Amino acid sequence: MIEMKHVSFRYDAGKEILHDISFAVAKGESVGLIGANGAGKSTIMKLLSGILSGEGETLICGTPVSRDNLPEVRRKLGYVLQDSDDQMFMPTVYEDMIFAPRNYGLSKEETEKKVDAVLEQLDLTELKHSRNHKISGGEKRMAAIATILTMEPEVILMDEPTASLDPYNRRLVINTIRALPQTKLITSHDLDMILDTCSRVILIDGGTIIADGRAEEILADKELLEAHRMELPLSLTRRQQ
């Protein structure tokens, strides 16, 4: 569902940001992409979504991510941005949710059915006509997820989905992520959230893959994490004390 084959990337003639990245994510997998600031996580997400292009091959559901294929790729891919304000640009939740389906040619009736089904799935029906600037950060993050789900993507990319949320809203987002059946690639510094939502973790540093394996094993490896400027998840720290 997600595949990178020998992908490298640099901005213009500058320093190489990614070097020979290769990995694949199978249907239904939930994979955490972790690393310290500057490791290359955001660049990978931008390459997968077609915002950037580099050397090597990047595929979504078997379709190469290229300028010619972007409309097809973006029908299969949903990208939940770190800052919901960058994603929720219409006056209301409803208007944001109908924007993409209507622009892809879905009828008003079909779109209404999708919007209502997604809002019910996420228990957000009361937010349907709320104005985006008046809802809380957690509600806006959930609304951003709802906007993506309205397009029924097969693959979802999430960039720091729990950043800046209070404990209640953080747990709400985590529970929502766990319930989503789609293939997911999630990047975050919140390693407890990654442990809660992902069965597999890919650790990158300096633009290369350092480790790729079971989340429980990588996230419990204190020496490995500290060598790459990260710390154990708090839940595992307590267990080891």
How is 197-223 classified by DSSP, letter by letter? H-SEEEEEETTEEEEEEEHHHHTT-HH
How much is the average pLDDT of 151-179?
90
Residue 197 lies in a domain: yes
Pair 78, 151: CB distance under 8 Å? yes
Instruction: Give dist(CA 179, CA 197) in Å, integer.
Output: 9
Find, among 4, 6, 8, the residue nearest to 18 by Cα.
8
Which CATH number goes with the domain that contains 202? 3.40.50.300
Residue 240: the pLDDT is: 59
Residues spanned by the domain of 186: 2-92+149-240
Residue 142 lies in a domain: no
Residue 102 lies in a domain: no
Residue 236: the pLDDT is: 84
Residue 216 lies in a domain: yes
pTM of the predicted protein model: 0.92
Residue 135 lies in a domain: no
Residue 241: the pLDDT is: 53
Residue 234 lies in a domain: yes
Residue 18 lies in a domain: yes
Residue of higher predicted confidence among 213 and 15:
213
Residue 168: the pLDDT is: 85
Q: Are strands 55-60 and 63-64 parallel, antiparallel or unpaired?
A: antiparallel
Residue 45 lies in a domain: yes
Residue 155: the pLDDT is: 97
Residue of higher predicted confidence among 185 and 141:
185
Residue 19: the pLDDT is: 96
Mean pLDDT (the chain) is 93
pLDDT of residue 238 exceeding 80:
no
CA angle at 218 for the pair 215 and 219, rounded to the nearest 5°: 75
Q: pLDDT tier at 85 (50, 70, 90 boundaries)?
A: confident
Name the domain count of the chain: 1
